[in-house]
Amino acid sequence: MRGRVRVSCLVSALLAAPRQSLCRWRSACDRRLTAAASRIPPPGSASRLPPAMKQRSIASFFGSPVVGARGGPSSSGGDGGRVKALEPGAAPKRPGDEPKPTSKPQAAQARSPPKGKRPSQDYGVDAPRKPKRLRKAKGQGKAAQPEGVAAEEDVIDSQMESPRNEEGRGQAASVADVAGACLADSGKEDGSQGADHSDTESDADSRTSASSESEVSAENLGGRKAGKNGIAEPGGGTPGKGKATRSPAAKKRGKKKAAQSKAGKVEGVGAASEAAAALYSEFKEEDYEDWDAAKGAPYKVLTDTFQKIGNTTKRLEITLLLTNTFRRIIKRSAGDLLPAVYLCVNRVAPAHEGLELGLGDATLIKAIAQATGKKEALIKSQYEESGDLGTVAVSARHTQRVLFPLPPLTISGMFQAFKAIAMAQGSKSQDQKKQMIGKLFVSSKGNEAGYIVRSLQGKLRIGLAEQTVLTSLAHAVLLERDSTSGKGSLAERLEKAAQTVKQVYSLCPTYNVVVPALLEHGLDDLSKHAPFSPGMPVRPMLAKPTSGVSEVLDKFSDCAFTCEYKYDGERAQIHVWHDDAGKQKVQIYSRNAENNTSKYPDLVARMASCLKEGVKSAVLDCEAVAYDIQQKRILPFQVLSTRARKDVTVTDIKVQVCLFCFDCLYFNGRLLFQEPLTGRRQVLNSVIKEKEGEIQFAKAMVSREVEELEGFLNDAVAAGTEGLIVKTLDATYEPSQRSLNWLKLKKDYLEGCGDTFDVVPIGAWHGKGKRKGGYGSFLLAIYNPGLEELQTICKIGTGFSEEQLKELSDQMRGYVIGKPKKYYSYGETLIPDVWFDAKAVWEIKAADLSISPVHQAARGMADPSKGISIRFPRLVRVRDDKAPEDATTAEQVTEMYQQQTLVQAKKKSRRDMD
Amino acid sequence: MFEAKLIQGNLIKKIMEGLKDLVTEANFDLSPGGVSLQAMDSSHVALVALMLRGDAFENYRCDRPRSIGMNLVNLSKVLKCAGNDDTMTLKADDTQNNITLVFESQAEDKYAEVQMELMDIDSEHLGIPDNTYDAIVKMPSAQFSQIVKDLSSIGDTVTVSVTKDGITFSTSGDVGTAHITCKQNTSMEKEADHTTVNLEHPVTLTFALRYFVTFAKSTSLSHQMSISLSKELPVMVEYAMGDMGHIRFYLAPKIDDEESMDDS
């Protein structure tokens, strides 16, 4: 007996005049399940009904054949009914699916990861590997296309796992950061791009065939054209415009050269920028007709781009991928560009506003468990196994079907959601956050969940540096908005655009201003519409390490320079200005543009009396140093670090601070960045009233004599500072640059390396004998921002007292994790007994650097395949003020290594001459 | 103008018990035919469809159809003002963005009037088509509630399997596994205590148990409830309130573990 239950339509209107809702196949080849739902509004209704009221059929989502058969004529008869294209692939069956009919080519790509040697690292799914599901889908008469196959467990993630480009990559790009350098750097990789291309060729083909329409997305097209244009054909094909085809040896040389000459100098228009220009010209109009502009750009557009970016290590390709995505956004819904940029740099507000994501794993695990109905313990164990919570989130999505697919996530919606999560405060904020995250999870499809998790963790880990985002932003705006204006070849204009945007951003570090200004006024007048203003921190100029007085004299042999004490405190950029109401405002920013105002209420209170008359606004570059007022001497950094970090009240202050000013960037509305140091110092003198123990000028002197310099250095050390900063007098202020115009000369230069290293302990070995019970030695790593990797540099087992060792052991024990993180790069032969989460930063001193077959630091940069290690490391102190990302970078290590070999070579030649 | 008077005001309370844990805000659709509500939980896994027929009310007047959005958590709070035996009157003026609830005690010695703001909720109206289910099981509501409660202390998911012999609920967890079978039984005096199985095809589906726990909160609405299952379709759990109407819950099944394992 067949049970039959009538399920009535519950729309109020339908009670009076029931109408069948229905869905049907629009056409077989269309491959889109479309539900045509109709509804005749009852007379006088809809006064309060939202105009967008839609009616859909529940059954369509379960793809029952009955429903398909039910498609009847009444659908077309609906007057007010709208035809809504439902997502293919019976989304509820596979919630992980991302069936957006309009973005088919992408979808096809996303689901057919490379079949080549490279392991799939994305959150996508290898469609061909899932024949069973495919068949099944067919059997049910729905969504019988590859797109219908859901993203599933075989997701292999984590880029860190992937074999990184054997030739290494242009590290210079990540720091040197000038457009030209950036492009030039990627240029040298072009050779490998071609070679690599052969690997991915087959999968590119499969993508094309997987996509029923012959549309290949812009990115893909670009990639293939790269091969055609012969930037470098595998096996040395036709050389393009530039001398792109290089032998491996030539490549190596090129790399070295680039690394040495990366002081931010652009050497004309590199071959790479021409190549980039050529690639951009391949971008076609029809490549970006993707989404409904009214609804906004879907988040998927970004996550697909992220995925492709994560799959490559080539700077040029990354720039290209992102530029094309930005172009599509500008073209279709320019308003989404700002949130898109924020999502790319994984922030929700300008850095100085201090609003950050970076949620704890525990919260995320709970949220995932809640959203998927899985047990927390299960999620946790999967996390430990895979090492990436993103992977876990993606696979966890797939056990629960939904009745109706949720609306696709949009870029602007995601940004708003992230911002709301970051801003949630108060007693119930943890629950609120979990709920908001849960909502995002259930709406996410395919790879989205993975990137949501990573974004929330505060790390995208796809190797996308902010400087690359700026380059892409500049290129996209140039190509979409200002494509006809300007002089010179496209390549030149691309370089100039990137430089402009980077420069403007360094002075006006908020996308809230820069992006709208770009869209509205274009590149030419950008600096006018996104000007520097007090209250907005500028990334401070940094100094390069040197190994001794002679090296300084060597470098500054033909220019005037000055030396200043290098005070051992905290960088403080002090902004003083009057707001619209005429009230004086003071803000203090750290080295990382974090707002430190609430840490130094004493300094804020002091500022008014320290400024000379007539000073309305000023930005001062200073060092805040702990100071003993009675004995009138500066105290070491360790004392300063005992101060509370936030919301300090003046009466509670135990550690007094003296400000040592050494630069002035802005004075009464005048920007001083372009002024030489001499000019800026004059201004500084006219701004500050010196007061002992409160605010002083950094002690300085001018000399060219080695003895005098060394004497001054000894004085500096005796005065309790770290050493000297040597500056050329005619240099401009270069925000965020580690410039050759500022050199640091540390007191410990005689003892070995010129500078100390900030390293992250990532593992340890159990102690033996006397050290039993604690750790005997630690494995240390430096940071490679380009690869977002922590690379081992040395093992440290000496240089600390037993007491210190015990303290460190206790501290580090809290960070123990079961498995190394995917982004740890370490030698196979040097596996520690325990692994640590990357939390702590230690400052260490070392004797010298050498090429190491085991350690991974700066791998592929100084040596084509080996890394660099440091010898005789000794712990200087624990840096509580630094995050693992602030650790010494691979590029700095390379540089120190090269510096060292240079000095040694010189010494040797001198000896030889003697 | 909309006005509806209910003698047993606490019916609304009971209904809200079952609703508010599933959806936090929803649109009530008022029409001359009655009051209905349809809403999905935020994860789009479950859907609730409520129907109260106009002629079930003591007085019922609805001049023109309209949709009013309410926060169900707030509504539950408001309903706390009502005594269990109070009559309840709902009033909504078409021109105003609020609803008035009037609670009167049976003895007519207490009168409470509460006004609540309405809200605009953007929701889609979903047509739920007629379905022919493979299996329909009717059983006492209390029994279903007890089973669900017992199983939820053991596991997270429940596998519901209907054969000609009866319906089996199974779960497994850290504690162990549990199977509870209810056989067809029509020997009781009262029909509400019967368990009947209408079977076209045997069917087995797996669901997240916590949703069943939520559904079971509607137990007090009806002595008997029904579970309707079909392969690949959401389960429908219905509590019929005689002539008054019904409350139906739809829940999407979980993807079978076995199935996904085969595929990987």
Statement to judge: residues A386 and A400 lie in one domain: yes
Last residue within a domain, chosen from A422, A439, A457: A457
Tokens coding B3: 């006005």
On whether residue A534 sits in a domain, the answer given is no
Residue B51 to residue A10, Cβ atoms within 8 A: yes
- End position of a domain, from candidates A750, A774, A808: A750
Q: Which residues of chain A have pLDDT under 70?
A: 1-272, 283-290, 373, 397-398, 484-486, 747-755, 799, 847, 902-914
Cross-chain residue pair B127–A55, CB shorter than 8 Å: yes
Residues B40, B122: contact at Cβ < 8 Å?
no
Task: Tell me the C-alpha distance between A22 and B127, whole Å.
Answer: 8
Nearest residue to A470 via CA among A349, A347, A353, A344: A344
Q: Is residue A266 part of a domain?
A: no
End-of-domain residue from the set A482, A499, A529? A529
A600 with A674, same domain?
Answer: yes
Candidates A2, A4, A5, A19, partner chain B, best to mutate (most B CBs within 10 A)? A5
| The pLDDT value given to residue A642 | 84
With respect to residue A251, please indicate whether it lies within any of the assigned structural domains: no
Domain-located, residue A743: yes
Report DSSP state, residue A24: E
Rounded Cα distance, B257 and B249, in Å: 24
Specify the pLDDT at position A69: 31
Distance of CA A324 to the CA centre of its chain: 18
Model pLDDT, residue A780: 93
CA distances from A835 to A760, A763, A818, A858, B34 (A): 12, 4, 7, 21, 65
The dihedral over CA atoms of A511, A514, A517, A521, expressed in degrees to the nearest 10, equals -140
Q: Do A10 and B138 form a contact (C-beta atoms < 8 A)?
A: no
CA–CA dist A835, A818 (Å, integer): 7
Question: How far is A720 from A707, CA to CA, in rounded Å?
Answer: 20
CATH number at residue A593: 3.30.470.30
Query: Would you identify the CATH topology of the domain B2-117?
Result: Proliferating Cell Nuclear Antigen (3.70.10)
| Tokens found for residue A577 | 């200005």
Q: Which helix (H) or strand (E) holds A254?
A: helix A248-260
Question: Using a CB-CB distance cutoff of 8 angstroms, which residues of chain B are in contact with residue A7?
Answer: 128-131, 236, 248
B93-130 pLDDT, tens digit each: 988 899 999 999 988 888 999 999 999 887 767 777 77
Residue ranges in A19-103 assigned as alpha helix (H): 58-62, 65-70, 74-77
pLDDT surpasses 90 at B167: yes
Q: Is the pLDDT of residue B201 over 80?
A: yes
User: Do A42 and B31 count as a contact with CB atoms less than 8 A apart?
Assistant: yes
Closest CA to A295 of A411, A451, A217: A411
Bridge partners, A544 (sequence order): A743
Q: Taking CB atoms and an 8 Å limit, are B260 and A398 in contact across chains?
A: yes
Whether A814 and A877 map to the same domain: the answer is: yes
- Pairwise CB contact (< 8 Å): A47 & B228: no
Query: Quick one: A171 and A102 in the same domain?
Result: yes
Structure tokens at B57: 């009310």
Sorted by sequence, the CB contacts under 8 Å of residue B158 that are 6+ apart come out as B148, B151, B169, B170, B171, B206, B207, B209, B212
- Residue B89's CB: how many other CB atoms inside 10 A? 19
Mutual angle of helices A361-372 and A376-386, in 10-degree steps: 120
Domains B2-117 and B135-258 share a fold: yes
Please enumerate in sequence order all residues whose Cβ is within 8 A of that of A451, keeping only pairs 6 or more positions apart, or say none. A123, A302, A303, A306, A390, A460
**Residues A857, A726 share a domain:** no
Q: How far is CA A583 from CA A39, A589, A617, in A?
A: 61, 19, 11
Task: Give just the sign of the alpha carbon dihedral A129, A130, A134, A135.
Answer: positive
One domain for residues A359 and A486: no
Give the closest residue to A84 by CA, choosing from A118, A156, A121, A33: A33
State the catalytic residues of A. Answer: 566
Residue, of B229 and A580, whose pLDDT is higher: B229
Q: What is the pLDDT at residue A404?
A: 78
Domain identity same for A165 and A289:
no
Task: Give pLDDT, residue B256.
Answer: 61
Q: Are residues A895 and A805 in the same domain?
A: yes
* Facing residue for A442 by CB, picked from B44, B134, B228: B44
- Asked if pLDDT for residue B148 goes beyond 90, the answer is yes
Helix (H, G, I), strand (E, B) or coil at A614: coil
Contact B221, B142 (CB under 8 A): no
Asked if residue A791 is part of any domain, the answer here is: yes
Does a structural domain hold residue A848?
Answer: yes
A92 to chain B, minimum CA–CA distance in Å? 8
Chain A contact set for B210 (CB, 8 A): 373
Q: Do B38 and A405 touch (CB under 8 A)?
A: no
The reply to whether residue A11 touches residue B125, judged by beta carbons under 8 angstroms, is yes
CA–CA dist A157, A557 (Å, integer): 51
What CATH number has the domain bearing residue A510?
1.10.3260.10
The arithmetic mean of pLDDT across residues B219-243, rounded, is 92
Q: How many CA atoms lie within 13 A of A852 on its CB side?
A: 27
Evaluate whether A306 touches A462 at the Cβ level (below 8 Å).
yes
Phi, psi of A753 (to 5 degrees): -65, 155
Same domain as A581, residue A506 = no
Q: β-strand B166-172 against B111-117: which pairing, if any?
A: unpaired
- Do A296 and A412 have their domain in common? no
Q: Would A853 be classed as within a structural domain?
A: yes
**Residue A144 within a domain:** yes
CA distance B109 to chain A (A): 36
The pLDDT value recorded for residue A721 is 84
What domain count does chain A have?
5
- In chain B, what are the domain boundaries? 2-117, 135-258
Same domain, A695 and A592: yes
Give CA–CA dist A664/A681, Å, rounded. 7
What is the C-alpha to C-alpha distance for residues A748 and A762, in angstroms, rounded to an integer? 26
Tell me, which fold does domain B135-258 have in CATH? Proliferating Cell Nuclear Antigen (3.70.10)
The pLDDT assigned to A549 comes to 75
Domain with A418 in it = 351-457
Asked whether the predicted pLDDT for residue B202 surpasses 90, the reply is: yes
Confidence at residue A270, expressed as pLDDT on a 0 to 100 scale? 61
Q: Which of B37, B129, B233 is the closest to A57 by Cβ?
A: B129
Q: Are residues A35 and A149 in the same domain?
A: yes
Give the pTM. 0.62
Chain A residues in contact with B44 by the CB 8 A cut-off are: 402-406, 442
Looking at the complex, report in whole angstroms how far the Cα of residue B65 sits from the nearest Cα belonging to chain A.
6
A40 touches chain B (CB under 8 A): no
Pinpoint the alpha helices (H) of A688-784: 706-718
Q: What is the DSSP string of A266-282?
A: --SS-HHHHHHHHHHTT
Q: Is A436 on the interface with B (CB under 8 A)?
A: no
